[in-house]
Structure 1
């Protein structure tokens, strides 16, 4: 029987995460509408992404302990089953109480669900190298996951608005319950290879025999990021880029459309749709170019960052809506070229057994940076102006590019895993 680069367990992982992402989009839209209808306050609605990022950051801090003791598929199953149960409780509560429901309780449940969701992305990204039969298929696997993520975002936000308008927030949450239930069922098909399971069991036995090593387990990923020059550089580039990344949150893009382009909410929708269409096209481009890119991940990542930064700067100074639409459409492929190759570089820089701890530490750090960026950018928008805010974001991306160019020798260091880029 001919072996495939992408294994059957990988396709189960891909399916379960796509389903869970669709559920996420639905429930965020439903709860945003619910909060806006109840409070008529954009500030209250903005608490949702802030609370989600904060909960996921805390979850990432303790994730290494769980990942050290349990299989990664088991953690995914726990997360999705737990969220399914909590969504069911929330949906029933809203159905029974309607306008008398407590928003404090709603936000508390969102925090707990986000906490459970906090280890799913690092667990997924750590599983990908384990479930790909050949290393040359890693970029293809990451590209495929990225395409599905963006398709869900692109189609999901438009469709979820229609679903919420037709069903209402309460019934939409019941649909979310079904999607999370399906995601949990698909997770049952995700199996780790026997050699990885053997190493995991041995590590778990060592840790249970030495309780004092829990601190070592919690900090091991952080230490590796600091000690490994390649990881340290990639994480630093991620942080700089993330500081400006929050300008694409809905409130900022709406303000830009109104102030810089002189258009209304309909063009806000066009800009968002064009950006997501571009990222879908970018993911497909990465899949098409996977063989041509080969192991030149660094060059591909830097090209992506350069294109994205330049296009963001042009977008900031442009005042024509049609040109803005074209620019954001072109941004997508460059953004995906950067993101997918950066993820692949990180996965190739760390042993498969320790990768979950590194990804958990990075996820916590980047969630913290995103929260800080949201607050800082919101303050700067008032004082700095929305156009200058996008120029600042472009400058930060180009600064991250400069850091990568200066430190590119790190990626040719034979002492680091996956060298030869």
Structure 2
């Protein structure tokens, strides 16, 4: 984990993630100034999710032609270019041109959708196999730390320097990230320099076929699908209703619950780093404990009307979720040949983006018809089903 390549990866990605958040904060503020419409603000996450889903479907073709480190650099450099175009367009008076703004958002999101499978697939080539749990835990902790502090810092910076300056700052962070990622030297994996037209469809399916034909990968992704669908209850809109209707607290508690959730994720990642060897040896126990833990946390969160208990349940959910996901992602990396790993992650990215999008619509509709505690009970039930499946398939979930 102490190699220069790994340092360039996690530092470059951390800087890029901070740029993503600052860009989102600045863009939301500018969109609201330009339109005054909550609908357009809600359209931003939908556009991002849809774009990442489509880019995940097409990613295998790109990953067949380029090395993983090349894809990561291309993605980040492209994001830098289009964010600069967006900033220049807004500065020159295009802020009212919603088509222009959303076109830039979509292209940036497509490029970002290629980065995630490339980054995850690169890790086994950058660290020894025995360090995979620690590396996955560490990178997850850094990602969540940025998420925890980034939105608050972005809000403060937007107030101090203005939304437009924040977008320019994001472009600078993107450029610096590109420079760091360019320094990664990855051992080459054989790739195809060209593809025949009749091979394109088969290449697009390779990751999906690998997941379906491998009993271990199929079990892992079924669990991920269940938990992604159940996790849709943690979106901002549902938590906002929960705080208002069930806890009967002010809006600041919406922020506290979000913060406690991310704090739990960070704690889980740090535990993964500290006890990586033990977790690696006992991954089945960690997976089963984590699966039941998230179900219990969602149940407790759903039934309580005590604010401090809700904070504790939210933090516990985040910690258990992180430990469990570190084990699952490490298993994916070990069960998949290096040449197919990026394609498996591309398929995973697409299926989870689609599941989360549909899950968000479903829980939103359920929250309109049902008391909010029943929505969390439904989520807890799905997570309990996932826990039961984890026990049934425990022999396929660790390497």
| Aligned counterpart for 1:174 among listed residues 168, 172, 175 | 168
Q: How far has the Cα of 1:6 moved from its partner?
A: 4.0
| Aligned counterpart for 1:277 among listed residues 263, 287, 291 | 263
Contact 1:298 1:342 in 2 (8 A): no
Q: How far has the Cα of 1:104 moved from its partner?
A: 2.3
* Residue 123 (structure 1) aligned with residue 104 (structure 2): no
Contact 2:34 2:96 in 1 (8 A): no
Match of 1:414 in 2: none
* Residue 159 (structure 1) aligned with residue 145 (structure 2): no
Matches of 2:53 and 2:81, distance apart in 1: 22
Pairing 1:315-334 to 2, within 5 Å after superposition: 315-334=301-320
Q: How far has the Cα of 1:185 moved from its partner?
A: 0.3
Matches of 2:86 and 2:395, distance apart in 1: 52
Matches of 2:381 and 2:34, distance apart in 1: 39
- TM norm structure 1: 0.91
Aligned residues: 399
* Residue 140 (structure 1) aligned with residue 134 (structure 2): yes
Match of 1:50 in 2: 46
Matches of 1:148 and 1:15, distance apart in 2: 9
Pairing 1:122-271 to 2, within 5 Å after superposition: 122-132=117-127, 134-193=128-187, 197=188, 199-200=189-190, 203-205=191-193, 207-208=194-195, 210-271=196-257
Contact 1:274 1:325 in 2 (8 A): yes
- TM norm structure 2: 0.96
Matches of 2:310 and 2:363, distance apart in 1: 21
Deviations 1:51-90 (A, max 9, x none): 1111011101111111111011111111111111111111
Seen in structure 2, the aligned counterparts of structure 1 residues 379 and 177 have a Cα distance that, compared at 3 Å, is: same
Match of 2:326 in 1: 340
Match of 1:375 in 2: 361
Matches of 1:332 and 1:353, distance apart in 2: 32
Q: How far has the Cα of 1:171 moved from its partner?
A: 1.3
Matches of 2:237 and 2:348, distance apart in 1: 26
Matches of 2:341 and 2:48, distance apart in 1: 24
> Which blocks of at least 5 consecutive residues in structure 1 are unaligned?
412-417
| Aligned counterpart for 2:96 among listed residues 88, 92, 101 | 101
Matches of 1:380 and 1:108, distance apart in 2: 32
Matches of 1:45 and 1:246, distance apart in 2: 19
Partner-residue secondary structure (3-state), 1:234:
helix
Matches of 2:277 and 2:283, distance apart in 1: 11
Matches of 1:242 and 1:294, distance apart in 2: 23
Seen in structure 2, the aligned counterparts of structure 1 residues 305 and 40 have a Cα distance that, compared at 3 Å, is: farther
Matches of 2:52 and 2:119, distance apart in 1: 15
Deviations 1:252-281 (A, max 9, x none): 111111111001111111111111112111
* Residue 311 (structure 1) aligned with residue 297 (structure 2): yes
Deviations 1:206-260 (A, max 9, x none): x54x443222211111111111111111111111111121221212111111111
> Which blocks of at least 5 consecutive residues in structure 2 are unaligned?
none
Contact 2:291 2:390 in 1 (8 A): no
Contact 2:55 2:113 in 1 (8 A): yes
Deviations 1:68-122 (A, max 9, x none): 1101111111111111111111112222217x52122211210111011111111
Contact 1:6 1:141 in 2 (8 A): no
Q: How far has the Cα of 1:360 moved from its partner?
A: 0.4
Q: How far has the Cα of 1:300 moved from its partner?
A: 1.2
Match of 1:114 in 2: 109
Contact 1:297 1:344 in 2 (8 A): no
